[in-house]
Amino acid sequence: MRCALDGHEVVMTWTGSVYAVVPGERQRRLFGVVGLNIARCLLVDGRWHLTSRELLYYLDPTTGAPLHRWTNPWTSAEVAVVHVANERVQNVLAGPVPMTIADGTATIAFDIPLFYPNPLASDPATRSFDPNASYQAAELFAFAMPAEELAKASAARLWFTWHRIGPWLPWMGMGERPGVLLYSTRGRKVAAWDELPRLLRDEISTRVPLYRHAPACVLPGKNETSWTYFARNVLAYQAGERFPIAAPVNTTECR
């Protein structure tokens, strides 16, 4: 479902909302979102590896326009918005897949609880943006496709939902204030570039062309996350630069 067995890229896009859940307060819709993941599966040493890149833009909840500055409704501070630009998201596809087939539709669902040391807390330069010792979140996915396409190298039609529960984003300036963010999105596989939302096409064409294609190999190093990306670019954030930081095509990453 998630990628093609013939080495071709699979492009998925999604839209949705981000809500603030604060104890004692009514839930608040902070942002709309639009995102993209472009992935490739590679058979290496007898194991299937998924290698991908992903973008997500935070949008004005009323107009749908991309936000580059945001006024925090709790602190009244205006901050730079750090959109998601994960140039390396990889994993090994292994183990049984819990699939349900009913009424001609194949569905898989999996939940990913996350708990690991917070990469911002150990560095004095970034600790104030998220002082919690641990990063704790959960990513919840469900994918569906026509069961008749399971035998093919790649599914022509694929739909999915992605939900995430996690801490305040470092760029929001929330520190240790109580509360979490809830992401609620839905998306699909696209067959052609012009099926992507206009914002994503424009940004990739003019600002982040690296994200036009998935890596052609399994890249060394750890996965990028919003937290590691923020840590690497904290000076740009403090200078008020526009995000995502420009990302040209890398012609040497798989040499």
Tell me: the pLDDT tens digits for 176-231? 999 999 999 999 999 999 999 999 999 999 999 999 999 999 999 999 999 999 99
Dihedral sign from CA coordinates of 227, 233, 238, 244: negative
Read off the pLDDT band of 238 (50, 70, 90): very high
* CA proximity to 4, closest of 55, 38, 53: 38
For all residues of the chain together, what is the average pLDDT?
96
Locate 223 and state its tokens: 């996965």
- Residue 99 is predicted with a pLDDT of 93
DSSP 8-state class, residue 244: S
Domain locations in the chain?
10-95+162-238
Buried b (16+ CB within 10 A) or exposed e, 162-188: bbbbbbbbbbbbbeeeeebbbbebebe
Q: Is the pLDDT of residue 5 over 90?
A: no
